[in-house]
Amino acid sequence: MKRHFSPHEQTRPEENNLFDRRTFLAGGLLLSAGALAGCQTAVGLPDQAELPDEEFDYAAAYAALPDGDYTWPAINYKNFDQQYLRQVVEYKTRERPGTIIVDPYNNFLYWTLGNKKALRYGIGVGRAGFAWNGEALIRVKREHPIWRPPREMIARKPSLERYWEKGYPPGLKNPLGARAMDLWQGSTDTLFRIHGTNKPSSIGKSVSSGCIRMWQQDVIDLFNRVPLRTKVVVLSEDPNDTA
């Protein structure tokens, strides 16, 4: 089988409904067979799915996913490089377990587990994903979020003005996808989002818009693991750049 390598969104307070639902898919791949087989994460929300192990079922993890009033389409994961699939990897960091680390340069998001391991997801990074870096907390978690286009996007595409007042409704075509996690620094909304995407082919790529995109199945999986006030670190430079 051939492998293929491969918006700032603004919210208003009335949209910031907090959600805390968990469960759904286990998924991923272990680098060393049996290293975490059958074990449960020691960080994150209770009752979450078990960590990925060597018996991971890609077909089930990325199948069409019923979710309330919507069914998110299946991901044709075989068309993507394996590195972008949800999996447990070796990862060294000084951050505490339960921290999210976003590497926009290599299109990865890590959720640290401790013991030099992390649950890694493939991401797509828009220009907004490179416009902000640093540390923040997930202060708002939104299920089936409303999307409101930023003013600079409306300036480029005036037809989006109609979505400024009430926002783009939830659903399969919504740019934020199935879930959104909003990053705040103190009382300031950074306007940086980790969210789903209705364009699955953008994972593993740099794209024209958006912050940090994830497959719908993956953003739901992460959403069901991380609590509010989870620390997020967005890297300011490529960790592979040793020059």
Q: Rounded mean pLDDT of the chain?
A: 82
**How far apart, in whole angstroms, are the C-alpha atoms of residue 136 and residue 52?**
27
Per the annotation, the verdict on 8 as an active-site residue is no
Q: What pLDDT does 27 receive?
A: 37
**How far apart, in whole angstroms, are the C-alpha atoms of residue 105 and residue 108?**
8
Residue 242 has pLDDT above 60, yes or no: yes
| Catalytic position from the list 4, 8, 144, 211 | 211
Taking CA 185 as the corner, what is the angle to CA 182 and CA 189, rounded to the nearest 5 degrees? 45
The region of weakest confidence among 13-17, 73-77, 89-93, 143-147 is 13-17
Cα–Cα distances (Å) from 97 to 21, 58, 59, 146, 230, in that order, read: 21, 25, 29, 31, 10
Residue 17 has pLDDT above 50, yes or no: no
Could you tell me if residue 240 is left (phi over 0), alpha (psi between -120 and 50 degrees) or otherwise beta? alpha
Output 67 or 20, whichever has higher pLDDT.
67
Which of 127, 116, 110, 135 is closest to 188 using CA atoms? 135
Per the annotation, the verdict on 4 as an active-site residue is no
Q: What pLDDT does 167 receive?
A: 77
Residue 11 has pLDDT above 60, yes or no: no
This prediction has a pTM of 0.80
Output 3 or 127, whichever has higher pLDDT.
127
* Residue whose pair of structure tokens reads 């082919």 in the numeric block: 201
- Dihedral sign computed on CA atoms, order 64, 176, 24, 77: positive
Q: What pLDDT does 135 receive?
A: 97
pLDDT tens per residue, range 26-41: 333 333 333 443 444 5
pLDDT tens per residue, range 67-111: 999 999 999 999 999 999 999 999 999 999 999 999 999 999 999
Q: What pLDDT does 211 receive?
A: 86
- Dihedral sign computed on CA atoms, order 118, 119, 123, 126: negative
Residue 30: both structure tokens together: 């272990």
pLDDT tens per residue, range 173-217: 999 999 999 999 999 999 899 999 999 999 998 876 668 999 999
Q: What is the 3-state secondary structure (H, E, C) of 74-90?
A: CCCHHHCCHHHCCEEEE
**How far apart, in whole angstroms, are the C-alpha atoms of residue 183 and residue 192?**
6
Q: What pLDDT does 99 receive?
A: 98
Residue 159 has pLDDT above 70, yes or no: yes
Residue 10 has pLDDT above 50, yes or no: no
Output 163 or 8, whichever has higher pLDDT.
163
The domains of the chain, with CATH numbers, are: 13-234 (2.40.440.10)
| Catalytic position from the list 8, 39, 144, 195 | 195
